[in-house]
Chains A and B, each alone.
Chain A
Amino acid sequence: MSASTRRRAAGAVLAAAARCLLVLLCAVPPLAAQTVSGALTSATTVSGGVAAPGQSVQLGADEELSLRGSARLGVLRFSALISTSVSAGLGATARWASYSGAQTLRWSWPAWSAGAGGSAGAPAPELFAALEVKELAASVSGELAGLGIRAELGKFPLKWGVGKAFRPSDIFGGMDYSGLLPQAGGTPAARLSAFPSALSRVEAAAAVDGLGAIAAGARYLASIGDSGAFAASAGWRRASDAAEELSGSIEGQLDIGIFSPYAEISARHSASADYAYAMLGSGAAVGTFTFHAEAQAAVGLSSSDLRVFSLATWAPSELTSLSLPILWINDARTASGGILAQLQGIAGGRLDLSASATLLFAAMPPASVWSLRAAWSRSLSTY
């Protein structure tokens, strides 16, 4: 048996085993908890396009099975989101490109590795199988001296900031721009929250990523009357190269007619530099059209690190939408844009369809890659 065949066989076995695990988890009788809920969903994507400049057109497919569940036992709550995927061709290339060393609780075949000589610059495999624990957390809620409190531990989404694409206030993790729309994932963290009023929250949190970077900070979030919200935060972060940085941030959003402007400013101090990041954005809606635009820039660095993101959406009905996201990163001289059509509520509401076209353009040197994707997701079972 050749090495290639052995690798394919091992990947197929890993994928099959992971899928069996998720299906078996669905069959486990609900715990003796007050509230148990779970959902198994499947998402399939077929794609075609050019993965790198100069390459020929490639086809691909990706299939992901996700199990989300939660259970409540008195003041305790447990939550989990586990997914397994198998991808080939352009689908494998897309997943390979979305991986980073900062991600955690994720296993794949072939194994993805960070660092020098790692997988980041290596060509993507033809076949890629992965298992990821996207969320696995426990929390306890209660009252202390009349104050609502909550403690959380595990891997869970931890996001600060109000931006859709840029969140300079967020010291815990970067956004993933490999997809058509920016996304943020879960991170191993601990968080203690207090709720001094109905619409305010004070939290202290600490997190670590897969590269060993550690971040800790505190944040206060509150509403401003009926027409806005603001937050202030302070944090400390030690990167994987042991460089330390302190930050202080404020963020806010307001309603002004059809516009909803929002902004973040984050001042940073390290041994080598004092600088700041500012983000300004706004949402607007007219009829069936909504529009978001935001820009982020640095002050005090050798580069302004200017980034611009816009998202225009036309929703002719509540279940149909057409979106056009555009992302420009000035330092890299790259722009990516696309068009995304989504249809929800097919087959009795259990099936969603989407189709997208993506173009990534680099100005220096001029090059472009593109892809077309069609995807459908469906709910398989729930309890």
Chain B
Amino acid sequence: MKRRMWKAKSIIVALLLVGAFAASAPGAQTANAPAALALLEAVDSAQQYSSISYTGAMEITQGSRVLKKEYRASARGSDHVLLEFTNPEDLGVRMLRLGPSIWMYFPSEGDTIRISGSLMRQGLMGSNLSYEEVAEGESLRSTYSAEILREEKLDGRPCAVLKLSSSKTDISYPTRLLWVDTDRKVPLKIELYARSGLLMKTIFVRDLQPVSGRLLPTTIEIVDALRKNSKTLFSMRNIKLDLTLPDSLFTMQALTR
């Protein structure tokens, strides 16, 4: 039986795989575009899996305040994600993402809420990751063109600095810079820019762990460039890849169970 292969995105990995989505971007026209695409293809291949489940933690820092949250995550393909928060303050709160649609369930109110367009730029449960970023899927594949700007070392690792650009007006970050470890084929840092050229966020990979023969980013930090000392540290443990996750896991029934 032919096995269905999806490219899964955990909440953590989602932003890091953005570069890979550009691999088939039709707009790559610079001289080193083929090399850029080849590198992104290698990143893509190194982190290909059909599904993922893990126990996650968020440490949200705003100035001197820190908020810690824990959750269980399951994801299949690029657009099926279910999160269930397990920390006491948010016990039983769940998030379901199907394609670009995000639904939340709050057990204390028995309410199933669709995250409307006007709220998509708010942070997921107070984190520096917006619902809009959570909802971005493989549509990014045809969004960006890529070029290699330079090669440099980051934390002692040889990296190629890639620039992803898009002329589309309805995307969160028209320009992204990626520092890709050329030996291990993993992104180590991403800078996200607004159309004005203003740096909005920086994502740092703080830890990489081998999981089922792949080197996965298991701890990343999202730093808000516009707010002083505003950041979220995401970490993953108990990671399982390529599980069989049934359709029934990504439904309103599972969201409200």
Name A residues whose Cβ lies closer than 8 Å to a Cβ of B. 37-41, 68, 70, 77, 79, 81, 139, 141, 143, 148, 150, 156-159, 184, 186, 193, 195, 197-201, 221, 223, 226-229, 253, 255-260, 283-285, 290, 315, 317-320, 343-346, 348-349, 352, 379, 381-382
Q: A157-B108, A226-B99, A317-B63 are in contact. List 5 more A-B contacts (CB 8 A).
A: A200-B252, A226-B101, A285-B121, A345-B65, A352-B89
A260 and B118 contact, Cβ closer than 8 Å, known pairs A68-B91, A198-B252, A345-B67? yes
Contact (Cβ within 8 A) B111 A159: yes
Q: Which of B201-236 contact A (CB under 8 A)?
A: 227, 230
- Measured in the bound complex, the distance between the Cα atoms of B253 and A195 in whole Å is 6
Q: Inter-chain contact count A-B, CB under 8 Å?
A: 141
Contact (Cβ within 8 A) A150 B65: no
Name B residues whose Cβ lies closer than 8 Å to a Cβ of A. 60, 62-63, 65-69, 86-89, 91-92, 98-101, 103, 107-112, 114, 116-119, 121-123, 126-128, 227, 230, 247-248, 250-253, 256-257
Contact (Cβ within 8 A) B114 A223: yes
Contact (Cβ within 8 A) B110 A158: yes
A39 and B89 contact, Cβ closer than 8 Å, known pairs A260-B117, A319-B65, A344-B65? yes
Min C-beta distance of B225 to chain A, whole Å: 14
Closest A residue to B230 by CB, please name it.
Answer: A317
Contact (Cβ within 8 A) B257 A141: yes
List 22 A-B pairs, Cβ < 8 Å. A37-B92, A38-B91, A39-B88, A81-B108, A141-B257, A150-B253, A156-B110, A159-B110, A186-B110, A193-B253, A200-B252, A201-B253, A255-B116, A255-B118, A260-B116, A283-B119, A285-B118, A318-B60, A319-B60, A343-B65, A345-B66, A349-B66
Q: Which residues of B sit under 8 angstroms from A285, Cβ to Cβ?
A: 118-119, 121-122
Contact (Cβ within 8 A) B230 A70: no
- Measured in the bound complex, the distance between the Cα atoms of B117 and A290 in whole Å is 12
- Measured in the bound complex, the distance between the Cα atoms of B90 and A379 in whole Å is 11
- Measured in the bound complex, the distance between the Cα atoms of B119 and A150 in whole Å is 30
- Measured in the bound complex, the distance between the Cα atoms of B86 and A39 in whole Å is 10
Contact (Cβ within 8 A) B62 A41: no
Contact (Cβ within 8 A) B118 A259: yes
